[in-house]
Amino acid sequence: MVLWSNQTSNGDVFEKNHDELDIEFLGNIEGKPWRFQTNVYGNGSTNRGREERYNLWFDPSKEFHRYSILWTAKNIIFYVDEVPIREVVRNDAMGGDYPSKPMSLYATIWDASSWATNGGKYKVNYEYAPFTSEFKDLVLDGCAIDPIQKFPNSTACSETDTWLESRDYAIITPKSRSAMRRFRQRYMYYSYCYDNVRYPITPPECAVDSNEKQRFRNTGRLRFGGSHRKQARMERARRKRRSRAASVSDDQTDM
């Protein structure tokens, strides 16, 4: 499986305690929806991945779409087109796990056959090489830092931070929050926040949504597996089986 990643990182400067924000496409099985994930690392916390995974409602290889990451000292928001799909709000309990050091932007294509598509079930078919990606309308807003200066002084980016935090895309309005909720209900199929196997204690940045929690197992995956439509079909089938069983029981009672 070929993985395409759009990410911010400082791993070239902070090799053992790097920060990273990811939007990663996890490959595609013909006839199935494309899948992608978002992830957050802070201070080298790669053993505490904060993955969320989603199905896409379009084919990203056919047309351009906008993928955005807002990163401020207060929060992180991931966007697909104009829709916010995930927000991480900083709190004191996160400590160094919240990305806080200057990062650069990367776009990469690499072989993730060992884990990405269905847990590594489908490998890269190099008969389709070379693998390419195309970008346009790249926009970077933020505070530029000299790469040699690992840690900017406290006031170097204060004006830029204030400006970023005042932008429309930095504020999730009630309307856009409703859009985010609809996206997550329809397309999210895994969230680490509900993965009690990996995290018996819910990570401190997780804002647990009771409706989301009901839809996921303790492993963070959708109940019954697959899409929400598949869930609905399986639930209807289960109700029919229960109804038939009840009908048979009634008939036996009458006899």
Q: Specify whether 146 is located in the same domain as 89.
A: yes
* Residue 15 annotated among the catalytic residues of the structure: no
Q: Specify whether 172 is located in the same domain as 252.
A: no
User: pLDDT (tens digit, 9 = 90+) per residue, 77-119?
Assistant: 999 999 999 999 999 999 889 998 889 888 888 777 766 666 6
Contact 203, 50 (CB under 8 A): yes
Which member of 20, 30, 51, 165 is catalytic? 20
Q: How confident is the model at residue 55 (pLDDT cuts 50, 70, 90)?
A: very high
Which member of 24, 30, 52, 63 is catalytic? 24
Q: Specify whether 188 is located in the same domain as 242.
A: no
Collect all residues with Cβ–Cβ distance below 8 Å to 132 and sequence separation of at least 6: 109
Q: Specify whether 241 is located in the same domain as 135.
A: no
Number of domains in the chain: 2
* Residue 20 annotated among the catalytic residues of the structure: yes
* pTM strictly above 0.75: yes
- What's the average model confidence in pLDDT over 171-183? 94
Q: Specify whether 134 is located in the same domain as 238.
A: no
Q: Specify whether 137 is located in the same domain as 26.
A: yes
- In whole angstroms, give the CA distance from residue 69 to residue 23: 9
**Dihedral sign, Cα of residue 229, residue 233, residue 239, residue 242:** negative
Q: Specify whether 58 is located in the same domain as 26.
A: yes
The residue ranking higher by pLDDT, 55 or 4, is 55
Contact 5, 66 (CB under 8 A): no
Q: Which domain holds residue 200?
A: 2-223
